[in-house]
Amino acid sequence: MAKLVVLTEGFKDRSHELTAERTTVGRVEDNAFPIPEPSVSSHHCEVLLRGGEVRVKDLNSTNGTFIDGQPVTESALKPGQILRLGKVDLKLEGAAPPASKKAPDQTMVVTGGVSLKELEQGPKAVGFDTAGKGFSKKSNRANRLFFVVVALVMLVILSVLAYVIYTQSGTPPRP
């Protein structure tokens, strides 16, 4: 496993194993590998594991990022090389883990598209239903309840309206 080991006096006991694809290094505590030294920027650089290679990317640091004395913005870091952040020297020990092999894409290409006859026949079983049960229709209980309540409210409104009309048209006012 690859790890960064601090060589600078006062920080010699510090090291960080590179287990994540992206490791931030800087002066403040929110970095994955904090180095509390004034010459190190708050977010100085990030160390990336890419395809079995360790890469260092400078994050616009004030004092720069160097590999074996050469300034870099982004570069590969090989085992044994010295990474300098401000006034702090680090050494890469070990190798990066090999690139992970991704599972092949399971996308199926259908040449010629779908015919109208196939569409009219409806959906076909795809083969991912392992329990032997098809998809069930979602319950519309809430929708039914809503419509029942709306119907009852409308019935009450119509009844009140009919009552008002009936009482108004029944007998003429007395003088």
Digit-coded pLDDT (tens) for 76-135: 999 999 999 999 999 999 876 666 555 556 666 666 666 677 777 766 665 555 555 555
pLDDT, position 141? 78
Residue 41 has pLDDT above 80, yes or no: yes
pLDDT band at 58 (very low <50, low <70, confident <90, very high): very high
Within its chain, how far is the Cα of 99 from the centroid?
21
pLDDT, position 117? 74
Ordered DSSP codes for 35-65: ---TTS-TT-EEEEEETTEEEEEE-S-SS-E
Amino acid at 22: R
Amino acid at 129: D
Instruction: Say how far apart CA 23 and CA 106 lie, in whole Å.
Output: 32
Positive or negative torsion for Cα 167, 170, 171, 172: positive
Using DSSP bridges, classify how beta strands 33-34 and 22-26 pair: parallel, antiparallel or unpaired. Answer: parallel
DSSP class of 162: H
